[in-house]
A and B are shown apart, each in its own frame.
Chain A
Amino acid sequence: MNYLYILILSLWVFQAKAEIEYRDFKQPDQEQTYQTLISELRCLVCQNQTIADSNADLAKDLRRQVYEMLQQGKSRQDIVDFMTERYGDFVMYKPALKLKTYLLWLGPVVFLLIGLATVWVLRSKTSAGEQQLTKEQQAKLNRILDKGDDA
């Protein structure tokens, strides 16, 4: 009985495979660039997927666009510029480092520094507090150091 289920389920595998696109590249490095680019570009319809992962119509069109531009001999930067001119920085999963995105890139470092500073301030405060002895305590400490515990 289990075998029957497996057989039936395996029929779906062909449907999943039918979605794979075939692209013909003249040079292997072009294919490499293609694969990197489509996994760095965001599908704007399904915002948390790259155009490599998405089956949305727009993602298919953008993959075709990337492929065609590579065939025309356009560079990686040309394609990135083409996409950001139309869809904005949001289309790149890894946004370019520029004035608008400084906070995005440097934010985590700033928060780390704030955290380290807080720890440092708190630590120096508590250790300073522990070192303060009253006059009597200091006198008692001196006696102990001089004569031992019985004093």
Chain B
Amino acid sequence: MKYLLPLLLFIALSVFLAIGLKLNPRDIPSPLLDKPAPAFNLPILATPSQSLSQADLKGKVWLLNVWASWCVSCREEHPLLIELAKQNRVMLVGLNYKDELQAANLWLSKQGNPYNVSVMDSDGRTGIDYGVYGVPETFVIDKRGVIRYKHTGPVQAGDLEKIFLPMIEQLQAESA
């Protein structure tokens, strides 16, 4: 009986520490969730004389995938993005983050281009507006232009089926 209280305290502490170990310190909750997607108006990678703004995408469900040719873990998720593009269920917009025009185009021609369109954020200012800190990052944006989900780091095998596809389906069913 005398040892019961310390034992319970010890168990409680262990549980908290075990939970702490499992948390991912890179997973910082984004304050942008359920807020309108920050405005941008950036040159298109394929045709730099033209530009694209987030307002052009109103009425569509779209993914914003932040990528760069220098980003190693972008290679990891790339096959999954190509798979997603094949299914043709959602508009995939690339934010080419702090990259160079030639390097970015070369990367796409080598690895394959899953994006409907990529825009160039050469100086990283749009990245700051979207709170980007670890490339790759993926945002899901609904028909009203509101950010509904943010994924930090590479999209892993299984994430498409478990998270992205159900969410896209749900958002496609919503009215604009």
Q: Which residues of A contact B (CB under 8 A)?
A: 44-45, 47, 57-58, 61-62, 65, 84-88, 90
A contacts with B: majority SS: helix
Residues in B with CB closer than 8 Å to A65 are 128
Nearest CB in chain B: distance from A99 CB, A:
15
Given contacts A84-B31, A88-B29, 19 further A-B contacts (CB under 8 A): A44-B28, A47-B25, A47-B26, A57-B124, A58-B133, A61-B124, A61-B127, A61-B128, A62-B128, A85-B31, A86-B31, A86-B128, A86-B129, A86-B131, A87-B28, A87-B133, A88-B30, A88-B31, A90-B28
Q: Which residues of B contact A (CB under 8 A)?
A: 25-26, 28-32, 98, 123-125, 127-131, 133-134
Q: How many A-B residue pairs have CB under 8 A?
A: 36
CA distance A33 to B28 in the complex (A): 27
B30, closest chain A residue (CB): A88
Residue with the highest number of chain A CB atoms closer than 10 Å, among B29, B30, B128: B128
Residues in A with CB closer than 8 Å to B30 are 88
CA distance A65 to B123 in the complex (A): 11
| Residue pair B134, A44 in contact (C-beta under 8 Å) | yes
Nearest CB in chain B: distance from A95 CB, A:
13
What are 22 A-B pairs at a CB distance below 8 A?
Answer: A44-B133, A44-B134, A45-B133, A45-B134, A47-B25, A47-B26, A57-B98, A61-B123, A61-B124, A61-B125, A61-B127, A61-B128, A62-B128, A65-B128, A84-B31, A86-B32, A86-B128, A86-B129, A87-B31, A87-B133, A88-B30, A88-B131
A82, closest chain B residue (CB): B128
